[in-house]
Amino acid sequence: MNSGINAVLEAAKNTVIQHEILLNNLSNIDTTGFREQTFSLILDKKKNNVLKNKEYYLKPVVSYSDKPGSIQETNRLLDIAPLQNYWITLKNPILNQEMYTRNGHMSIDSKNRLTVNNYLVLGEKGYIVIPNYENINFLEDGTIIYTIKGKKKYLGKLKLTWLRSKDVKKNGYSFCYDIFNKTIENKKIKENNELMNEKKIKSKSLETSNVDLTKNLLQSIDCCRKFDFYTSIVGHDIENNNLLNKFVDINS
């Protein structure tokens, strides 16, 4: 197969990858805190084992958009919307590792601990126990206050992690993300330099998905058209090769 057709097949493959990403974005347009995936191609090198050299090719790169979703007020005491690039930190008890989400639709488990989709929400000093959620208030920095008999009691502070969407990766849970190691140093720098009065969350609210419906629909249609174009080129090439083989057979 010639290099031209190989390039067409590679382009078709990348188009399929992009289309799957767009469809996933569209299917999560109503998912709280969902981050839109983006697709791009960059020039990279790969080793050619036959020619013993390196050649350039277009490498697909999938990342996430930092564009914030809109904030919707819910008036529900256990709902919070992370602001800027702050993420709610959860604990995966099975893998014993941290996960990150912008889905602030929280609940309380049988042990009065804060959870998101049954995963424990981490505070700066461990899990957060809520004695009576009807009397709690989330402050803008993530501090949780419990009011009883007119007196306010400190319950804890949410562990809010500063992350760029380009440095997160999807894990096996639809509402959670993991981080690459390279973000840890940047995260520490942010934590050391942040202002104490910086607004990190908005209470009684949720962040909607940041998926751009119109853009994803148009790009999805464009992908379908491109794929049809690429497959037609390959089809014509196969047809021409068949005709050439018949001609050779007749004249041999």
Whether 89 and 154 map to the same domain: the answer is: yes
What pLDDT sits at residue 96?
A: 79
The whole-model pTM stands at 0.78
Q: Which two tokens stand for residue 66?
A: 């930092």
Whether 148 and 81 map to the same domain: the answer is: yes
DSSP state of 215: H
| Domain region containing 34 | 3-64+211-250
10-19, 41-50, 122-131, range with the lowest pLDDT? 41-50
Q: What are residue 122's DSSP bridge partners?
A: 127
Tell me which residue has tokens 């050391």.
192
Q: How many Cβ atoms sit within 10 Å of the Cβ of residue 163? A: 23
Q: At what angle do helices 213-250 and 3-27 cross, to 10 degrees?
A: 150
In the chain, the number of structural domains is: 2
Whether 80 and 202 map to the same domain: the answer is: yes
Q: How many Cβ atoms sit within 10 Å of the Cβ of residue 242? A: 10
148-157, 167-176, 179-188, range with the lowest pLDDT? 179-188
Tell me which residue has tokens 């990766």.
169
Whether 124 and 236 map to the same domain: the answer is: no
Tell me which residue has tokens 């049954």.
118
